[in-house]
Amino acid sequence: MTINTQHRAKKALGQHFLHDQHAIQKIAMALPEASNVIEIGPGPGAITQALLERVGHLTVIEKDDRFADMWQEKSQTCDKLEVIHGDVLKVLHDSVQKQQPEWIAGNLPYNISGPLTAQLASHSLSGGMVLMYQREVGDRIMAGPGSKTYGGLSVLARHHYHVKRLLLLAPGAFSPPPKVHSVVLLFSPHGQIPICPFEHLQTTVRQGFAHRRKTILNNFKGLITAERFESIDIAPSQRAEQLDYDAWVRISLLLHPTD
């Protein structure tokens, strides 16, 4: 098998190929040796090759026929490699169910990184995730309450993980270079058992952040009264961006009471 880094990049698939060796090594070294890993979007394989030298089992999920075929061919002679040819947004949940990975890694296609992160954050992995984003999306995920960039993804990411920045990369680390900087985030399990289901938190957050400039009372009009907000220690005049993870969980439990 030949890895041709001159493959023409497809913009529609968010292809920016990493060639910075320091970044490649740092991403690979963040994963423990011999672990069971899923990589999203291997492309021509800058990260994939480094992972294959390190991990115990690697499943790659790729939508682009050229790369899926290439890795399929490689898997014929590499026992630890498995290939899933498909759209990660459609196959992620089943793949995690089947492969039971400890870790998920990837230089994510920027055009689907928001919805993909919402799916990824729903999985409680024993190891964690090492994911590359455009800086702006990474900042949104890392943001805390009170910040303009704090939003639904920031809350959802905290359900199972705490998140820290591992790397900041300039456009020149990629070919073709993107217009903006990129970041690599490390999601590590915080180990606390969530007290509401992820799906409930997700619908709650979606509704709560629907109109950022409105009060939380307005965003939940007809569903939660001012008195009920006060009963869970939330001022109804607050805006979504002021509420921390625990407050979102309390709202979620109000909307979806469990026995």
Interacting residues with ligand SAM (CB under 6 A) = 13-18, 41-43, 46-47, 61-64, 67, 87-89, 107, 109, 112
Give the nearest residue (CB) to ligand SAM.
41
* Minimum CB distance to ligand SAM, residue 67 (Å): 5
- Give the CA angle between residues 75, 80, 82 to the nearest 5°: 50
Residue 62 or residue 102: which is nearer to ligand SAM going by CB? 62
* Minimum CB distance to ligand SAM, residue 87 (Å): 4
Residue 109 or residue 128: which is nearer to ligand SAM going by CB? 109
Residue 17 or residue 103: which is nearer to ligand SAM going by CB? 17
For the packed helices 88-99 and 113-120, what is the interaxial angle rounded to 10 degrees?
20
Residue 95 or residue 219: which is nearer to ligand SAM going by CB? 95
**If DSSP codes are grouped into helix, strand and coil, which group holds residue 185?**
strand
Structure tokens at 10: 């497809």
Residue 13 or residue 253: which is nearer to ligand SAM going by CB? 13
Angstrom CA distances, 197 to 74, 120, 255, stand at: 39, 14, 12
d(CA 38, CA 69): 17
d(CA 139, CA 41): 22
Tally of CA atoms within 13 A in the half-sphere of 94 that contains its CB = 9
* Minimum CB distance to ligand SAM, residue 10 (Å): 7
Residue 92 or residue 157: which is nearer to ligand SAM going by CB? 92
* Minimum CB distance to ligand SAM, residue 227 (Å): 45
Q: What is the DSSP letter of 37?
A: E
* Minimum CB distance to ligand SAM, residue 109 (Å): 3
d(CA 39, CA 119): 15
Number of Cβ within a 10 Å radius of residue 62: 25
* Minimum CB distance to ligand SAM, residue 39 (Å): 7
